[in-house]
Amino acid sequence: MTYEVAGKTAVITGAASGIGLGMAKAFARAGMNLVLADVDGERLDEAVAICAAIGVGAIGVAADVAEPAQVEQIAERTLSEFGSVHVVSNNAGVGISGPVDEMSLDDWRWIIDVNLWGVIHGVRTFLPLLRAQGEGHLTATASMAGLAGGPMLGAYHVAKHGVVGLMDSVRAELELAGSPVRASVLCPGPVDTAVVGSERHRHPDSQRHERGESEQRFWDGLVSALASGMNPDVVGELVLSAVEQERFWILTEPNEHVTMVQRRLDAIRADNDLSG
């Protein structure tokens, strides 16, 4: 099956930078009208200008995805401007490091509010619209951190595992209902974006404390892995093809990442005497 996107309307959250902007450009080149949402009003205006220059209708909506009423406003603006919505990408996200027992409650809430509740609000707002319309595709950006565990990003892992679980439930329920609406989940490995500067939008009083030695080592490795990571425009194209080809799992480096998931399955087998 394939889905024809030209002339349709896409909503993307976290669209002012990185992967969201990469998706916006890919969707615009495929002829979609765009509603770009982000907390960063200044960069949002630049993103709208970039997409409009490609020759499609594009508007920006300043919104915080952690606030359900603001996510509903994104839907209202989309319907009033373009009349309908077809592809929704719940992509906005933030990341900070920290050992699980050192993260403050404020750190936990911020990560979960944006990365998980932001997607829940997006699903609750847009899924009924797509189902009623009998057409469309709902996607969300999780991470490889949603498919495998690891140190120093506990809150991020929790949120991204939640996004994977949520989108898999959406997929299963759409299938159960025989709905033509499709779902997918993007699980990128390292991508060269501004995500390591996520705290730029956070009040200085809430920003994370200084890092201990091992956290700092981890963080430096992460920053350098991301700097040599995939170009976000390439990730945008991967998401576009998954929407067009109606695929659920979107991995950026499938060979390497499937091996990481396999390691978890191997550990489950080994700990339960199934390894032989």
Ligand X SMILES: NC(=O)c1ccc[n+]([C@@H]2O[C@H](COP(=O)([O-])OP(=O)(O)OC[C@H]3O[C@@H](n4cnc5c(N)ncnc54)[C@H](O)[C@@H]3O)[C@@H](O)[C@H]2O)c1
Binding site for ligand X (CB under 6 A): 13-14, 16-20, 38-40, 64-66, 91-95, 114, 141, 143, 188, 190-191, 193-195, 198, 201, 226, 229, 232
Residue 273, judged by CB atoms within 10 A of its CB (0-12, 13-18, 19+), counts as exposed
Distance in Å, CB of 159 to ligand X, minimum:
8
Whichever of 31 and 194 has its CB closer to ligand X, that residue is: 194
Which tokens in the block code for residue 267? 């550990």
Partners of 87 in beta bridges: 10, 137
Whichever of 5 and 226 has its CB closer to ligand X, that residue is: 226
Task: Determine which one of 59, 156, 181, 208 is catalytic.
Answer: 156
Which tokens in the block code for residue 126? 């847009």
Distance in Å, CB of 138 to ligand X, minimum:
15
CB 60 within 8 A of CB 52: no
Whichever of 136 and 190 has its CB closer to ligand X, that residue is: 190
Helix axes 18-29, 232-245, angle to 10 degrees: 50
Distance in Å, CB of 107 to ligand X, minimum:
14
CB 112 within 8 A of CB 155: yes
> Nearest CA to 119 among 81, 51, 170, 181?
170
* Distance (Å, whole) CA 51 – CA 111: 29
156 is known as an active-site residue = yes
Identity (one letter) of the amino acid at 213?
E
Distance in Å, CB of 43 to ligand X, minimum:
6
Buried b / exposed e across 52-69, counting CB within 10 Å, b at 16+? eebebebbbbbbbbbeee
Whichever of 136 and 236 has its CB closer to ligand X, that residue is: 236
CB count in 10 Å sphere of residue 161: 18
Whichever of 33 and 91 has its CB closer to ligand X, that residue is: 91
Distance in Å, CB of 189 to ligand X, minimum:
6
The residues assigned a catalytic role are 156
